[in-house]
């Protein structure tokens, strides 16, 4: 009897039909809540994971992604549709350093410089506009050690003349790192004064590679502008410091500092020595910018001979030469750096040296570095064709290319006037 009462009590504690249904609904609510929480956690993990795309898809790319303080960095953005027509703030850590302006497709390109004094290590470069955000890491590396300039000869071993040569960008593989322009000047100086009386010094400085100058974004933007339709009147290429390859600007600064220092040291050690200055490409730009700081040496400068100068000024008397010479020129148009930054003031070369100076710019084959498009003088498409020839010349000697590509590179070099200066005309001027 006690068992029956116990069993009845146990049965009485079982849930009724309505209570069972409520338990079932409660279990479903718990499972639904758990599913929502799981989904939210998964979404949060996705959004917070490094390197993943944001909802809007905004991204930035850094070029280069590492380098020492004072490195010039190109920041390219994609997917900034919501920010089109608005400023995008570009920051280093949390400090704004520049702004970008997305086009109608949400793309932009801007430039910044890693501040001087930034210690080595990782930093974050960010971009933001409203609710749109993106960032990318940049590694600040140790500064490149400054190499000690080569020691000039002692006073007891000072030849009467010194050819001071400054090469430009490092040439493409097939061209070789020689400078026939300066070699011809050296040969003529030794013929005039005797081999034993002519010394030669080459400036050692941070020369950019040919490909870093000719295949970068700045040159591509210039080619695009020069080939645009319809062709605008006047000057076609972009203006400003950003219109030039960062490697070119960095090499110029390093070259000028070293040239001024070494020439002053040389002049002090050899007080009776005279100088013949020869520069090609970036080397011509370096010498032109260094000369205003070396006025005390002007009486000892016998010649300034430049070729393919990015700062070329066709209206300078130094640019005049007979049209009977090979590769007649120059055209009445300025160099690519002079176009971007403005002509050198107060004059292309110091007036005290104009009588002993010559600057050459090929018209055939055209040198697209010392000549730029100008209405009525040089059309944009012709300029772009020769610039493309210089760019194609970069590939001419790389290993692994098909034979046809190598041949194309060789042909391109023959159309790239910038790497074809021989120096015969400079030698004739030196002999006058």
pLDDT of residue 176: 61
Question: How many Å apart are CA 418 and CA 366, to the nearest integer?
Answer: 8
* Mean pLDDT, residues 242-267 taken together: 91
pLDDT of residue 291: 96
Distance (Å, whole) CA 317 – CA 180: 24
Q: What is the DSSP string of 86-143?
A: S-EEEEETTEEEEEE---TTS-EEEEEEPPTTPPSEEEEEEEEETTEEEEEEEEEPPP
Give the pLDDT band of residue 394 (cuts 50, 70, 90): low
Answer yes or no: do 77 and 169 share one domain: no
Same-domain pairing of 162 and 80: no
The order of strands in the sheet holding 161-166 is 198-202, 161-166, 274-280, 301-307, 357-360
Q: How far apart are CA 103 and CA 259, in angstroms?
A: 42
Structure confidence at residue 172 as a pLDDT band (50, 70, 90)? low
Note the pTM of the prediction, 2 decimals. 0.61
How many structural domains does the chain have? 2
Q: Is there a single domain that holds both residue 288 and residue 238?
A: yes
Query: For the domain that residue 133 is a member of, what is the CATH number?
Result: 2.60.40.1930
Please, what is the average pLDDT of the chain?
77
H or E stretch at 75: strand 72-78
Q: What is the CATH number of the domain that holds 303?
A: 3.40.50.1820
Q: Are residues 245 and 307 in the same domain?
A: yes
Query: Average pLDDT for residues 385-408, to the nearest whole number?
Result: 55
User: Which of the two residues, 161 and 375, has the higher pLDDT score?
Assistant: 161
In a domain, 22, yes or no: no
Distance of CA 275 to the CA centre of its chain: 31
pLDDT at 152: 54
- Weakest-pLDDT range from 21-35, 89-103, 308-322, 418-432: 21-35
Classify residue 304: in a domain, yes or no: yes
Residues 420 and 278 reside in one and the same domain: yes
Residue 362: pLDDT over 90: no
In a domain, 230, yes or no: yes
Q: Is residue 287 located within the same domain as residue 354?
A: yes
- Residue 209, domain member (yes or no): yes
- Confirm whether 190 is domain-assigned: yes
Higher pLDDT, 76 or 322: 76
Do 189 and 337 sit in the same domain of this protein? Answer: yes
Q: Give the lowest-confidence range in 206-210, 251-255, 287-291.
A: 206-210
Please check whether residues 107 and 162 belong to one and the same domain.
Answer: no
Asked if 250 and 371 sit in the same domain, the reply is yes
Domain containing 63 equals 59-140
Same domain? For 135 and 162 the reply is no
275 and 371 within one domain: yes
Tokens of 77: 């953005």
Per-residue pLDDT, 192: 93
Structure tokens of 39? 């989904």
């Amino acid at each position: 009897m006690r068992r029956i009462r116990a069993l009845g009590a146990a049965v009485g504690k079982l849930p009724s039909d309505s209570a069972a249904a409520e338990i079932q609904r409660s279990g479903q609510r718990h499972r639904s809540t758990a599913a929502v929480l799981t989904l939210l956690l998964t979404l949060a993990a996705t959004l917070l994971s490094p390197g993943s795309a944001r909802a809007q898809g905004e991204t930035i790319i850094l070029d280069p992604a590492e380098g020492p303080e004072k490195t010039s960095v190109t920041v390219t953005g994609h997917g900034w549709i919501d920010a089109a027509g608005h400023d995008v703030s570009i920051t280093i850590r949390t400090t704004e350093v520049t702004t970008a302006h997305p086009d109608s497709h949400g793309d932009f390109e801007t430039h910044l410089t890693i501040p001087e004094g930034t210690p080595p290590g990782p930093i974050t470069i960010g971009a933001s506009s409203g609710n749109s955000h993106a960032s990318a890491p940049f590694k600040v590396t140790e500064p490149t050690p400054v190499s000690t300039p080569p020691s000039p000869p002692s006073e007891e071993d000072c030849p009467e003349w010194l050819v001071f040569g400054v090469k430009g960008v490092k040439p493409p593989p097939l061209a070789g790192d020689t400078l026939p322009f300066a070699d011809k000047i050296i040969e003529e100086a030794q013929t005039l004064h005797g081999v034993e009386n002519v010394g030669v010094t080459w400036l050692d400085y941070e020369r950019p590679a040919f490909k870093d100058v000719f295949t970068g974004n700045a040159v591509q933007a210039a080619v695009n502008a020069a080939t645009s339709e319809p062709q605008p009147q006047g000057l076609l290429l972009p203006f400003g410091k950003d219109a030039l390859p960062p490697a070119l600007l960095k090499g110029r600064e390093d070259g000028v500092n070293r040239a001024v220092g070494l020439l002053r040291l040389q002049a002090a050690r050899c007080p009776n020595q005279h100088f013949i200055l020869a520069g090609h490409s970036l080397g011509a730009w370096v010498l032109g910018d260094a000369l205003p700081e070396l006025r005390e040496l002007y009486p000892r400068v016998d010649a300034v001979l430049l070729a393919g100068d990015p700062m070329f000024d066709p209206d300078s008397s130094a640019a005049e030469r007979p049209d009977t010479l090979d590769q007649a020129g120059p055209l009445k148009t300025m160099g690519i750096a002079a176009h971007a930054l403005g002509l050198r003031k107060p004059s292309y070369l110091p007036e005290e040296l104009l009588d002993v100076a010559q600057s050459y710019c090929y018209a055939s084959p055209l040198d697209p570095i010392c000549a730029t498009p100008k209405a009525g003088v040089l059309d944009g498409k012709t300029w772009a064709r020769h610039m493309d020839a210089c760019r194609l010349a970069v590939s001419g000697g790389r290993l692994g290319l098909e034979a046809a590509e190598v041949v194309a590179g060789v042909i391109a070099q023959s159309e790239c006037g910038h790497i074809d200066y021989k120096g015969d005309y400079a030698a004739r001027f030196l002999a006058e």
